């Protein structure tokens, strides 16, 4: 069985915890940079390639700055994500705005920033025209319906997805947009999530490249880019094979040359907007064991909870756990590792074989760098943790402070009826 190896030792974690109490998120700058460089290498054959990092996965301006330095843009879906990206120095064509059921002010800011706007629905053509105006470069999101399959394996069910337009609506949207002044077009689609197969992107590319050729023939539109979006996953389980992004890039290249080049569309730029693949392996939730309980099962209680990382509670997702300092110890015990919420699904692991855990041990919860902190919430009045960056020089930098009670009560600052809340 392969192993997942933490990027900090127990000694380093204890040193960090002296300054920043657990729980905390810790991101690995070197890993993030290396991953961005690997993705750029995989698609270097396409001269217009750009990775637009999915901000929703890890919304932190320090992370966005690192990725910007590595040539990445930002994929945004809300007003605040646009504002954060702008603060990190990302604007104009470095931003893709893909949203749905979009408020007018979100569209207006995207247009003002010069972001590439990706329309989710045919009705959004007139909506965008009314609230912000039609830009010269525009993108439309495609939903083919039915099932998305690779070979004989169904990967997902786009027909049940609320996102995107039918093929007929794509044609209609392009024609309407051209009449309203749009000159350059893109295609976007997201058909499956967290795929761990090198075949996903090439098969998605085949569908989108074929559609691009057909749309050009039917509408005469100048299609300048195709966005393969996200969906490239990671191996959360140690024994699971990882995606090979170099093989994926080569697979897309072959389809590109097979479909687009003969159609005279060899200058089309390719975009991706990966969040999980870019960040998940390079972020961890570090938490301390503070209680143990022996009833019908063996429980280890930690100072983090589902408010810090809700994927296991929400999806039943597996996140590997390393007990720092006991990496090579025998997996002699079976535990449920749980948090302190008044919810029975507040569990990071169920019936997990681990070394014997003692109160005070530090647990390193792997692969939490995407859709980890960002999905946090304040149920039970729990406060979200700090986010820290393990820099390439080995120093640790705080990139978001831990919430305090005053933050939880901040939205009552208008009220004079509960003055005590302003003292916490």
Catalytically annotated residues: 342
H/E stretch holding 248: helix 245-255
CA angle 342, 343, 345 (to 5 degrees): 150
Whether residue 400 contacts residue 386, with contact meaning beta carbons closer than 8 Å, is answered with yes
Beta-bridge partners for 27: 283, 389
- Total H helices, total E strands in the chain: 12, 19
Tokens describing residue 200: 């996903």
H/E stretch holding 177: helix 167-179
DSSP string, 336-397: EEE-SSSSTT-EEEEEEEE----TT-EEEE-S-TTTTGGG---GGG----EEEEE-TTS-EE
CA distance 303 to 24: 10
Instruction: Find how far residue 278's CA is from the centre of its chain.
Output: 8
The radius of gyration of the chain's CA atoms, rounded to the nearest angstrom, is 23
Whether residue 116 contacts residue 139, with contact meaning beta carbons closer than 8 Å, is answered with yes
Q: For residue 272, with 0-12 CB atoms within 10 Å meaning exposed, 13-18 middle and 19 or more buried, which class applies?
A: buried
- Each residue of 210-222: b (16+ CB within 10 Å) or e? ebbbebbeebebe
At residue 243, the 3 state secondary structure works out as coil
CA distance 210 to 213: 5
């Amino acid at each position: 069985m392969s192993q997942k190896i933490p990027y900090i030792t127990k000694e380093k974690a204890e040193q960090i915890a002296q300054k920043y109490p657990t729980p905390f998120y810790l991101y690995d700058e070197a890993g993030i940079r290396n991953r961005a460089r690997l993705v750029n290498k995989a698609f270097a054959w396409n001269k217009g390639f750009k990775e637009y990092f999915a901000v929703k996965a890890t919304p932190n301006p320090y992370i966005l700055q690192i990725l910007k330095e590595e040539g990445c843009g930002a994929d945004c879906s809300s007003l605040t994500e646009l504002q954060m990206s702008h603060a990190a120095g990302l604007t104009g064509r470095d931003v893709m705005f893909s949203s749905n059921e979009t408020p007018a002010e979100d569209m207006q800011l995207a247009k003002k920033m010069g972001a590439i706007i990706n329309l989710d629905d045919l009705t959004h053509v007139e909506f965008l025209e009314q609230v912000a105006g039609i830009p010269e470069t525009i993108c439309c999101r495609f939903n083919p319906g039915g099932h998305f399959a690779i070979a004989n394996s169904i990967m997902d069910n786009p027909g049940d997805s609320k996102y995107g337009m039918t093929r007929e609506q794509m044609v209609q949207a392009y024609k309407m947009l051209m009449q309203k002044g749009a000159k350059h077009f893109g295609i976007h689609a997201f058909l499956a999530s967290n795929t761990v197969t090198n075949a996903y992107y090439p098969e998605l590319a085949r569908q989108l490249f074929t559609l691009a050729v057909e749309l050009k023939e039917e509408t005469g539109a100048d299609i300048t880019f195709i966005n393969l979006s996200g969906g490239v996953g990671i191996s959360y389980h140690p024994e699971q094979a990882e995606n090979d992004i170099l093989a994926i890039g080569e697979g897309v290249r072959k389809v590109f040359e097979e479909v687009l080049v003969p159609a005279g569309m060899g200058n089309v730029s390719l975009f991706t907007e990966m969040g999980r693949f870019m960040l998940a392996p390079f972020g961890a939730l570090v938490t301390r064991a503070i209680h143990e309980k022996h009833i019908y099962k063996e429980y280890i209680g930690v100072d983090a909870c589902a408010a810090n990382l809700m994927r296991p509670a929400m999806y039943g997702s597996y996140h590997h756990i390393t007990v720092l300092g006991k990496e090579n110890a025998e997996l002699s015990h079976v535990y449920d590792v749980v948090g302190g919420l008044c919810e029975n699904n507040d569990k990071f692991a169920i019936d997990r074989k681990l070394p014997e855990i003692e109160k005070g041990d530090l647990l390193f919860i792997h692969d939490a760098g995407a859709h980890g902190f960002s999905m946090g919430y304040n149920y039970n009045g729990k406060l979200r943790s700090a986010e820290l960056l393990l820099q390439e020089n080995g120093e640790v930098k705080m990139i978001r402070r831990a919430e305090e009670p005053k933050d939880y009560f901040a939205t009552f600052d208008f009220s004079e009826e509960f003055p005590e809340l302003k003292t916490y």
